[in-house]
Amino acid sequence: MQNHSDISTRVEQLLNKMTLEEKLGQLMQLAANDPKSLELLETYHVGSYLHVSPKVAEHLQLRAAKTRLGIPLIFGSDAIHGHCFENNTVVFPTQLAMACTWNKNLVRKMGEITAYEMRQCLLHWAFSPVLCVARDPRWGRCGETFGEDAWLCGELAAELMLGLQGDGSQEYVEPNHVLACAKHFVAYGEAIGARDAYEAGVTKRRLLETFLPPFEKLIKTHKLASLMVAYQAIDGVACSASSWLLNDICRDEWGFEGIVLTDWNNIGALHTIQNRASSYKEASKIGFESGNDVFMATPEAFEKTLELVTEGALDEGIIHRSAYRVLYRKFALGLFDQEAKLTEGWQDKLGAPDSWHYSLQASRQSLVLLKNTADLLPLDKCATNNILLVGPNADDVFAQLGDWSFGSKQALHTKDTLHKADTVNLKTALSLHCEAQALGFRYIKGADCIDSNFDEIALAREAAKSSDLIIACVGDTLDQHGEFHDRSDLTLSGKQQALLEAMKASGKTLIVVLLCSKPHAIPWVKDNADAVICAFNPGPKGGQAIKELVFGEISPEGRLPISFPYSTGQLPVYYNKYKGWHAFHSPQTEGQERYIDAPEAPLFAFGEGLSYTTIEYSELKLKNAALPHGQDLEFTVDIKNTGLRAGVEVVQVYLHDVYSSVTTPEKNLKAFERVELDASESKTILFTLPFDCLSLVNEALERVVEPGEFELMVGASSKDEDLLKVSFEVS
Ligand code: BGC
């Protein structure tokens, strides 16, 4: 195994032999699905490609081996929820669905399986995890995130990173692991109006308080290998032109040693979109001087940067340093020490049954039960004879798998047949079940997510007459989310709402399954459905998991990592909001901080999710009611399963700094634990939180813990009524 100084020596020896052109080539990452970029390999000494198929990877490595120094290429891919851009690999639920599991082990496992399958395909660099915080679901990319809470995003992203990178050791990447790339740096989800990649109006204090800490955590505690710079500008400064973010914060303050990669043509966009630079040449200078190491998909920068260095307008030392970082990772990955060939039977190593088992587990645990009137679910087998299934998403692979997978086609070598055979949709799962149980079953699509003219409502209404129970699977589909697919209206699209209303009018029991990429504004569903299940792009086995939940073969374990709005205009409704005060004077709002025409609370809150049993919380006890400065916060809480079935509880811990020099959110998640409880079982859960979880960023932009009163809240969700509360003083 190589250590840091071995690698460093090898990198320096190689760099000593390299021309400026060869070093610069290491800083170019080009798109393999563009034939022109492939031609540039030798002329531009290209160091990296993205979106490469296994065969092309093998071929390109052979070409690279024949160049003067034979430096291997490094290949990047958007392996976001599994290595989805390859056939027969294991696809997982999307990040947002994974966040619903609140299960760190499963998230780590997803990373491990993804890395293993990437390496079989000769790829080394996963553009994952996504650390964006989704605080406005109009944004198209919510499904790629771990939800609305920055702290939770950091916790889960750290697991995903460890799964991808292995133990996080900087010196050596095990053969079955890859480099992780935390993205998008930073506050990308905060773009104004939730419009993808628009300017974000975030202050430095909010960055330091909320959006930077997840990245800091990955860098400081786990030696992150790389990060990707966001597209947008923050308070007027494009992220890729922000020396403050990249040089001062990342490098100087956090000591980041990894690679800073731009997003797609970020550097070109400094000239062509953001008008920060009057030419590609100026953009390239800004790009390198601001701290970017590798430019993704801006081939124009190669020649312009050569000119800059030759003219003395750009310090060659910057190029040398960035090339060092890239070569370091190539050595750490062992690329110089192994032959880059697909191994015998490499395809058979993909999609192992064990790995699929984890994907199914994730699908199951990602389902969130949001309503269950009179314990309708699980269905009583004896009382159910004829089931009518309606809705477009009971039979839509695109909706089930989500973005960056089947059919999303960002990597052009993928086909839209990918993963189709692996996918069990709700229609198939239910019909097989009903056949085996001799139950009546019928499926009618009824409505379409996109096509408003698609209307089979009359047919569904007719079929409802001879059914005992209706399951409606509605939501959104691939064309309604993802990059530059933001929405101004989060109600159900097409004739889905009309279909639901017709089903309700039939008088039959109605279960609504929301199979979607993100929260929707669906107050009607909450009020009118007898049961509601949320299934954020639940993965290939999602249909099977939903069927199992409905029939009680599994119990619901998921909790929402993001709030559902009551209406689109109520956004944002994330739970860690600040307190307003004017509303206290308004008789129209009954003293609540709300719009005069909408309730204050979200439709479904962060952390919310039912199970098939009931859990009681009691005895929230602090070790010290007065916490000396610097000491860990220790406390216990008792939980008891008061129902007749085993269940999983996600115990959530929130804190509030009651009096502080700056305004602070009413509560912030600081810890959680997933606990399994048998029927009637009780457990005492002990928490030990580090003292700095009480910190805030003050006016002088320093992270400090201010003495005074704090409130600790522990319970089943972020809703006040679900939380036990106790106060304490920090001296
Ligand atoms: C996205 C990134 C992605 C990159 C490469 C960009 O448009 O913002 O998340 O990694 O493309 O596919």
pLDDT band at residue 450 under the 50/70/90 scheme: very high
Q: Is the CB of 263 under 6 A from ligand 1?
A: yes
Q: Is the pLDDT of residue 168 over 60?
A: no
The confidence score (pLDDT) of residue 4 equals 86
The finding on whether 78 has its CB within 6 A of some atom of ligand 1 is yes
| Backbone angle region of 516, left / alpha / beta, with phi > 0 → left and psi within -120 to 50 → alpha | beta
Residue 223: pLDDT band with limits 50, 70, 90:
confident
Instruction: Give the Cα separation of 286 and 662 in Å (integer).
Output: 35
What atom in ligand 1 is closest to the CA of residue 231?
Answer: 8
Closest atom of ligand 1 to 184 CA is 9
Domain segments of the chain as ranges: 4-346, 368-556, 615-730
Sign of CA dihedral 645, 650, 655, 656: negative
pLDDT tens digits, one per residue of 661-695 = 999 999 999 999 999 999 999 999 999 999 999 99
Q: Which residues, other chains included, contact 162 with Cβ-Cβ below 8 Å and sequence gap of 6+?
A: 108, 111, 168, 222
DSSP states of 632-699 = -EEEEEEEEE-SSS-EEEEEEEEEEESS-SS---S-EEEEEEEEEE-TT-EEEEEEEE-GGGG-EE-T
Alpha carbon of 226 to those of 66, 211, 261, 262, 377: distances in Å?
28, 17, 7, 10, 45
For ligand 1, atom 11: residue with the closest CA: 264
Quick check: 276 pLDDT over 60? yes
Average pLDDT, the chain: 95
Q: Please state the CATH superfamily assignment of the domain spanning residues 615-730 in this structure.
A: Immunoglobulins (2.60.40.10)
Q: Average pLDDT, stretch 293-308? A: 98
Can you tell me whether residue 572 is helix, strand or coil? coil
For a pocket test of ligand 1, which of 141, 264, 405, 414 has the largest count of ligand atoms closer than 8 A to its C-beta? 264
Q: Establish whether residue 289 lines the binding site of ligand 1, counting it when its CB lies within 6 angstroms of any ligand atom.
A: no
DSSP 70: -
> What element of type H or E holds 390?
strand 386-390
Task: Give Cα separations from 552 to 116, 337, 364, 480, 611 (angstroms).
Answer: 34, 52, 12, 32, 11
Helix H or strand E segment including 309: helix 300-310
Residue 171 clears pLDDT 90, i.e. is over it: no
Q: Is the pLDDT of residue 67 over 90?
A: yes
Atom of ligand 1 nearest to the CA of 183: 9
Q: Give me the pLDDT at residue 473, please.
A: 99
The CATH architecture annotation of domain 4-346 reads Alpha-Beta Barrel (3.20)
* Predicted confidence (pLDDT) at residue 406 exceeds the cutoff of 80: no
Average of pLDDT values for 96-120? 98
- Of 309-323, 324-338, 443-457, 572-586, the range with the lowest mean pLDDT is 572-586
What band does 169 get if pLDDT is binned at 50, 70 and 90? Answer: low
Question: Which of 148, 162, 227, 237 is closest to 190 using CA atoms?
Answer: 148
In this predicted structure, what is the pLDDT of residue 417? 65
Residue 146 has pLDDT above 60, yes or no: yes
Would you say residue 170 has pLDDT above 60? no
Q: Is 127 in the pocket of ligand 1 (CB under 6 A)?
A: yes
3-class secondary structure, 384: coil
Instruction: Find out whether the beta carbon of 409 lies less than 6 Å from any atom of ligand 1.
Output: no
pLDDT for residue 391: 98
Helix (H) or strand (E) holding 715: strand 708-715
Confidence (pLDDT) at 382: 67
Q: Which CATH number fits domain 368-556: 3.40.50.1700, 3.40.1190.20, 2.60.120.10, 3.40.109.10?
A: 3.40.50.1700
**210 pLDDT above the threshold of 90:** yes
Query: How does pLDDT run across 519-567, given as a tens digit for each residue?
Result: 999 999 999 999 999 999 999 999 999 999 999 999 999 999 999 999 9
C-alpha to C-alpha distance for 655 and 691, rounded to whole angstroms: 12
> Does the pLDDT of residue 172 top 80, yes or no?
no
Which of 78, 186, 240, 414 is the pocket-test mutation for ligand 1 (most atoms within 8 Å of CB)?
Answer: 78
Q: Tokens 């619903």 appear where?
A: 100
Per-residue pLDDT, 339: 85
pLDDT tier for residue 3 given thresholds of 50, 70 and 90: confident
162-200 per-residue burial string, b: 16 or more CB within 10 A, e: under 16? bbbbbebbbbbbbeebbbbbbbbbbbbbbbeebbbbebb
CA angle 682, 687, 690 (to 5 degrees): 175
Residue 398 predicted with pLDDT over 60: yes
pTM of the model: 0.97
Q: For residues 29 and 730, what is the distance between their CA atoms, to the nearest angstrom?
A: 50
The position carrying tokens 């964006």 is: 132
| Residue-level pLDDT at 54 | 94
Nearest CA to ligand 1 atom 6: 264
* Ligand 1 geometric centre to CA of 107 (Å): 21
Nearest atom within ligand 1 for CA of residue 78? 10
CA–CA distances in Å: residue 503 to residues 98, 124, 389, 476, 582: 31, 50, 10, 19, 42
pLDDT tens readout for residues 349-363: 999 999 999 999 999
pLDDT tens profile 600-618 = 899 999 999 999 999 999 9
Per-residue pLDDT at 416 exceeds 90: no
Q: Rounded to the nearest whole angstrom, what is the distance from the C-alpha of residue 264 to the centroid of ligand 1?
A: 6
Residue 403: pLDDT band by 50, 70, 90 thresholds? very high
Cα 44 to ligand 1 centre (Å): 22
Q: What is the pLDDT of residues 559-574, one digit of tens each?
A: 999 999 999 999 999 9
Q: Which of 289, 230, 238, 227 is nearest to 260 (CA)?
A: 227
The ligand 1 atom at the shortest distance from the C-alpha of residue 130 is 9
**CA distance linking residue 441 with residue 254, whole number of Å:** 59
Query: Mean pLDDT across the stretch 491-502?
Result: 98
Question: How many whole angstroms separate alpha carbon 573 and alpha carbon 596?
Answer: 15
Q: Do domains 4-346 and 615-730 have the same CATH topology?
A: no
Distance between CA atoms of residues 559 and 516, nearest Å: 15
